Structure 1
Amino acid sequence: MTVLAAGLALLGSLFFALGAALQQFEASSTSHAVLRHLVRRPRWLLGGLAIAAGTALHVVALKYGPLTVVQPMGVASLLFALPCAAALRRRRPRPGELAAAAVISIGLIGLVLVVPDQGGDPHLGTGEAVALLAGAAAASLALWAAARQASPAARACLLAMGAGVLYGATATLTRVLVDGGGEFWFLLAVPMPALIALALLQRAYAVGHFGVAFAALQVSDPLTAVVFGALLLGEPLPTGVAAVLTALAAAALTAAGTVSLARTTPMSPSHDVTAR
């Protein structure tokens, strides 16, 4: 069952990477990288279906295998995404890009492995849920504001981080709802941060630095969920000298790989896409 779970998660990562590459290709090919224009593009919609399929496979994998096996397989989406995006541009991925992606993946796997197993059923009150949404909105707004004055690579990173923060908040609310520990209005609140995150992510993709944008998303989404889980749901964080040192080393590798990706040539000619 563990082998099956790992295979499903790996296949899900491939679908997720392909979907992200398709959406980035479409977002960077237009000067109007907004959802109302992108939803009219069949290839962008196909990318959305691929991402949905990848997410579904990941969920199924979690039913058959432990989180410590499934989550690291999901990190492979970064390694898959760069070749997929390069193929759409009819070029080969550069060795430096793949090396940076491998470093980020190793860092993300290290971070995943030091997070303790979650125990108990999560519960979130109305006040805590409002704090979660307000905190995610404030952080995302600050990142969006910073992106307006940033260089193209930094802009892609900051916008994707803003999307990741909102996705992390969405994941936290969803987990509470699935386990029956939330209020009914949570169900109505979930789509809003997810849609804003999707719009921010397309802005990040449109800049052209796909590698750094996708890496920033892969880092900020799970880390936000872990932080909210610890602060609001009482979930454990890594403890002990070995776990803390491993987490710090993994974070350093992830940061170094992301900086390296930011220095690579953009996947496409950069439009003057601002964070408006």
Structure 2
Amino acid sequence: MFANNDFSDLTSEFVRNPSQLIGIPLAIVGAVFMSLGAQFQHRGVTKVESSSGVDATTGLNFSQLKLLLTRPSWVLGTLMLGFAIAFQLSALAFSPLILVQPLGAIALVITAILNARIYKMSLNRPSVIAISACVAGVALFVTIAALVGGEKPVSNVDLITILIMLGVVLILLTLGFLFFRKRAKALFYILAAGIIYGFVATLAKVVINRIVNENFDWLTVLCVVGLLVAAGLGAYFVQTAYSSGPPDLVIAGLTVVDPMVAVAIGIVVLDEASGAPLWAVIGFAVAGAIAVWGVFQLARHHPQVQA
């Protein structure tokens, strides 16, 4: 059970500072841009794959990557995703995580509807249940994290730990891609990108805080380098996922895995949920299981995947 004082504290905070509500429309607009960007990028990738005559499900080659830059749909989609990131960061600047982060799951719903309309198909019942599970699981997970957690200063030791973890993750995922790319499915690329973007979100937040506090040292530069390398590899995995899976499946994986990894880093490395009660630990496990189950079910039952 949630403690009543947790909700009363949140309510009183919004009453004292109503400007926090500004983040709601910003997050919704960001979700719309994310869904549109995913749809346009997916169209660009599929057209490049078709025109090149080379199957991209095992990874886009260099020639296909260059062709993406000449596809207006892909370029437009990339610009829209840039706008999505800008709106989401702006929303977090005004509003707390509990209010903004669950709204990102709106992108999954919008993308599913758009994709169904564009390809003139109807989502089957298992797909609808899977999407609902993704949205509900993420909302519950982030809500619990906001109730029992709290931001703490990131020390140099914590930051080095995060960078080491990121390095290990990038190496493992790269090796997995190189050795198993011929057998890898869309789900591998989606989960890999979600894990990487969880680190990217954490590092981006740290870098912004350090720049604001005029603490731009060698460690901050190293964070920027790690962030750019991770973002590049994550983007490559996303584009490859578009060639082997529908855009709503890609968005489902990102909106589920990304925030969970970011929250997990905060809990494990930054100790932001120290002293969390038992109900919170159980809630994290249940919410995470529901959301991840939804992604796997969508990958299994989506009409385009079955076709």
User: TM-score when scaled to structure 1?
Assistant: 0.84
Shift of 1:204: 1.1
- Alignment partner of 1:9 is 2:27: yes
Counterpart in the other structure of 2:105: 75
Shift of 1:35: 2.8
Identical amino acids, percent of aligned pairs: 24
Distance 1:117 1:201, change over 3 A: same
Counterpart in the other structure of 2:7: none
Alignment-mate amino acid for residue 84 of structure 1? L
Alignment-mate amino acid for residue 73 of structure 2? R
Q: Residues 150 and 273 of structure 2 are in contact (CA less than 8 Å); yes or no, is this contact kept in structure 1?
A: yes
| Partner deviation per Cα, 1:63-122 (whole Å, 9 max, x = no partner) | 222211111111211111111222332434444423321111001111111114432322
After TM superposition, which residue ranges in structure 1, 4 or more long, deviate above 6 angstroms?
Answer: none
Give the alignment of 1:1-276 within 5 angstroms.
Answer: 1-29=19-47, 30=49, 31-32=55-56, 33=60, 34-115=64-145, 116-125=148-157, 127-141=160-174, 143-144=176-177, 145-146=179-180, 148-150=182-184, 155-180=185-210, 182-236=219-273, 239-265=276-302, 267=304
Structure 1 window deviating more from structure 2 (190-199 vs 18-27): it is 18-27
Shift of 1:235: 2.8
Alignment-mate amino acid for residue 19 of structure 1? G
Shift of 1:174: 1.6
Shift of 1:207: 0.3
Q: Structure 1 stretches of 5 or more lacking a match?
A: 271-276
| Partner deviation per Cα, 1:24-64 (whole Å, 9 max, x = no partner) | 22223324544322222111111111111112111121222
Alignment-mate amino acid for residue 170 of structure 2? A
Distance 1:6 1:23, change over 3 A: same
Q: Residues 161 and 220 of structure 1 are in contact (CA less than 8 Å); yes or no, is this contact kept in structure 2?
A: yes
Q: Residues 267 and 273 of structure 2 are in contact (CA less than 8 Å); yes or no, is this contact kept in structure 1?
A: yes
Q: Residues 163 and 223 of structure 2 are in contact (CA less than 8 Å); yes or no, is this contact kept in structure 1?
A: no
Q: Residues 267 and 274 of structure 2 are in contact (CA less than 8 Å); yes or no, is this contact kept in structure 1?
A: yes
Distance 1:208 1:120, change over 3 A: closer
How many angstroms apart in 1 are the aligned matches of 2:303 and 2:43?
12
Q: Residues 165 and 221 of structure 1 are in contact (CA less than 8 Å); yes or no, is this contact kept in structure 2?
A: yes
How many aligned positions are there? 266
User: TM-score when scaled to structure 2?
Assistant: 0.77
How many angstroms apart in 2 are the aligned matches of 1:183 and 1:215?
31
How many angstroms apart in 1 are the aligned matches of 2:247 and 2:274?
31
Distance 1:225 1:238, change over 3 A: farther
Q: Which is higher, the Rg of structure 1 or of structure 2?
A: 2
Distance 1:124 1:169, change over 3 A: farther
Alignment-mate amino acid for residue 219 of structure 1? V
Aligned CA RMSD, in angstroms, stands at 2.6
Structure 1 window deviating more from structure 2 (59-68 vs 194-203): it is 59-68
How many angstroms apart in 2 are the aligned matches of 1:93 and 1:266?
7
Counterpart in the other structure of 1:273: none
How many angstroms apart in 1 are the aligned matches of 2:95 and 2:82?
20
Shift of 1:149: 2.2
Shift of 1:205: 1.3
Q: Structure 2 stretches of 5 or more lacking a match?
A: 1-18, 50-54
